[in-house]
Structure 1
């Protein structure tokens, strides 16, 4: 960014602000809603989003996206490689520093690619960015529903992933994309309306969940959150350059892989007996740090 004038810096700042402001303002609505004492059933809203909203969003985004086959497969391979590389790096770090893998490994690998990644990619890079973000989100979801749950629970069948509507929406959306098919206009409009509720609901729910969490061990959470941002960003960038992704695909890959710890990591830790308070600290701290980290990341690509 050497040689950029003051006006260009201001323009860049305003561009980034336009992208991140709606995301964090919607999450703030969730926080304020809880602080005012209003009822918000996170389990119901999350189920509604993940069963109807998100699958409809994934399917319609893939069906309508303009990604060619070569770029699509490059993005798929790059995303898979990035998550495998991140897993290996964190596994080595955990072995060296003797950290509890059941508690910390999955949260550091799997970021908030749905609640934060999808809207950020859409606002920053438009429909093209949304298409790439959906691909990364879907792959991360499959990986987290299999390997991630196995890590936290200490076992379980990978076939559980087949019960997730998001997986079938991804497969169908990918098929329609590759074949150039489309649903009838009335069905597309209906699915698009259902999908449009997913992003605002996920962001408000994120704010509600953050407001209700009770974090523990903040210093460790800060250290691990900084490590997550650095490792995930650098690995995703290196992998994206290796696969020679086009600029928008590269930016979305870095953005998605480096998103903060997801609230679902806390829910899984609580369900399977991991240290839920420690994971809550990671969720809160990493999300707060993302307020600074995400604009810096976007500034490199916008």
Structure 2
């Protein structure tokens, strides 16, 4: 089977199927999307983080190098977005910067990494996700200029249960104490529900979206996200010496569409939410092609 077709059928189709069901439900039913999103953010994702970190076989040095490569990739996409978007009005510029930089390392990044690489790839992708979800709530207010100051930003970061779940798992792992069987099974059961729910949540959000008028800022931010993102990640990995599966995981993650979090932040801070909504939709649809191509190319990476 050709690599491109294999990537489409074995990696993209399972993810698209679950998200597609969410899309149909979002069109036909009136569902509380905020509740579904909060279940994922405040209950299931922390369980996935705790369960995966406790049992992960990712070396500390590997995780640190992956984190550095992730942050440098963000720096590249953010800088390019700012340079080009300076000519647009300030609210649109901020939305282009957020839309081109903040990618969906959770809803799509985690399940696609699982299908593409197996459990080891999921563990590496979770490192990217943890850094990304914390970074979103630091970078987002900076981009959108909320005016809340560093205290507001710190409060938002510390209010994320996934951060505390990851810290608890790290401390528990360092202690060498075995997790009681009942607790371990309960957390693992919740963790298994995470990926289907986040994909359904993504589909619900897309299904509830209205009609879209495409603009130049939307197209530019979408190109930054889907084309520059993976290319920047690949170049940075080569520069800092990251190779093998960690390189492949970051390149795949950096090819993901714009995260819905960017839209939520735009609405929260009164920015150009229409542009961000357009970028989320365009990149999610475009990712069906670009992510398939990236998955097909992964075996040829160093």
TM-score normalised according to structure 2 size: 0.89
1:110–1:261 contact (8 Å) kept in structure 2:
yes
Distance 1:66 1:25 in 2: 30
Deviations 1:251-301 (A, max 9, x none): 111121221111222222222211222211111111000000001011111
Q: Shift in Å at residue 190 of structure 1?
A: 0.9
User: Gaps (5+ residues) in structure 2?
Assistant: none
Cα 1:124–1:91, aligned 2, differ >3 Å: closer, same or farther? Answer: same
For these two proteins, the number of residue pairs brought into alignment is 293
What's 1:66 paired with? Answer: 57
What's 1:135 paired with? Answer: 127
Please give the secondary structure, in 1, of the residue aligned with 2:31. coil
Q: Shift in Å at residue 62 of structure 1?
A: 1.4
Deviates more, 1:167-176 or 1:65-74: 167-176
Deviations 1:178-226 (A, max 9, x none): 6666522221211111111111111111111111112544142234312
Task: Find out whether 1:248 has 2:245 as its counterpart.
Answer: yes
Cα 1:243–1:177, aligned 2, differ >3 Å: closer, same or farther? Answer: farther
TM-score normalised according to structure 1 size: 0.89
What's 2:13 paired with? Answer: 21
Aligned Cα root-mean-square deviation (Å): 2.1
Of 41, 57, 66, the residue aligned with 2:48 is 57
Cα 1:280–1:215, aligned 2, differ >3 Å: closer, same or farther? Answer: farther
Of 142, 149, 154, the residue aligned with 1:159 is 154
Please give the secondary structure, in 2, of the residue aligned with 1:299. helix
Of 95, 113, 121, the residue aligned with 1:121 is 113
What's 1:192 paired with? Answer: 188
Deviations 1:145-194 (A, max 9, x none): 01212322433222120011011123233445566665222212111111
What's 1:238 paired with? Answer: 235
Distance 1:85 1:284 in 2: 23
Distance 1:297 1:95 in 2: 30
User: Gaps (5+ residues) in structure 1?
Assistant: 1-6
